[in-house]
A = this chain, B = another copy of it.
């Protein structure tokens, strides 16, 4: 996909050392699967990792393809989504710094992934990663914890999709995004919204028009101040009350 120049002069050991340096200085280590791992485990992880950079709207994974790789998002934002034959789309997650891509994966990808903004990722071969589990059980534990966490978030989203009104969905969406950005130490006032209204709609089970109207309602109600590419939470308590349904 993204061709990498491979000068013959660089030997395999050099490449490995180079990735190790890159990982050692990685500023998202504390957020990703690397957190809390012993030094040796990191070195081995580094040796099998490939850094990727994706421009906005780049295709990273296509649903149904053999799942050879897993990824860690190190910067920017990507979306994972499912398509129906007639074009209906459900975005099952927006992933950002520290998120792991591929937890839900069997032998084939269950969703497509595209970048929202420009994004950076670390790619791992699934086989090589799973081979590391034998030597470094902490890695597998970390992945299981990430999977548990994602499952809990998925269940929150089910409640949203199955039972919440449009305004409640937008309120919940904004609060969740805010919390996530806080977790990774990103600025969240105003809250950046790198995704389009259409993407928000396909995440929340709505249409762009309904998303737009819901934003307007929240703005008129004094809960938020909304621009096109960002939003500010004005009344956190009120927004929470709305999001949770009374």
- A154-B155, A158-B154, A159-B90 as given contacts; A84 in contact with B148, CB under 8 Å: no
Stretch at the interface among A19-27, A31-39, A99-107, A114-122: A99-107
Q: Does A86 contact B (CB under 8 A)?
A: yes
- For A, the interface residue count at a CB cutoff of 8 angstroms equals 43
How many copies of this chain are found per oligomer? 2
A186 to chain B, nearest CB (A): 22
A106 surroundings in chain B (CB, below 8 A): 148-149, 152
Q: Provide 11 A-B residue pairs closer than 8 Å at the C-beta atoms, listed in order of the A residue.
A: A84-B244, A84-B246, A85-B245, A86-B246, A90-B158, A104-B148, A104-B154, A106-B152, A111-B155, A143-B144, A154-B158
A133 surroundings in chain B (CB, below 8 A): 137, 141
Q: Which of B147, B244, B246 contacts A151, CB < 8 Å?
A: B147
A140 to chain B, nearest CB (A): 6
Q: Does A69 contact B (CB under 8 A)?
A: no
A103 surroundings in chain B (CB, below 8 A): 147-148, 151
- A140-B144, A143-B144, A147-B151 as given contacts; A162 in contact with B161, CB under 8 Å: yes
User: Quick check: B161 and A205 within 8 Å, CB to CB?
Assistant: yes
Q: Does A157 contact B (CB under 8 A)?
A: yes
Closest to A155 in B: B92
Q: Which of B86, B163, B244, B245 contacts A205, CB < 8 Å?
A: B163
A246 surroundings in chain B (CB, below 8 A): 84-86
Q: Does A88 contact B (CB under 8 A)?
A: yes
Binary interface profile of A, 49-75, with partner B (CB < 8 Å = 1, else 0)? 000000000000000000000000000
A140 surroundings in chain B (CB, below 8 A): 137, 140-141, 144
Q: How far is the CA of A143 from the CA of B140 in the complex (A)?
A: 10
User: Quick check: B152 and A151 within 8 Å, CB to CB?
Assistant: no
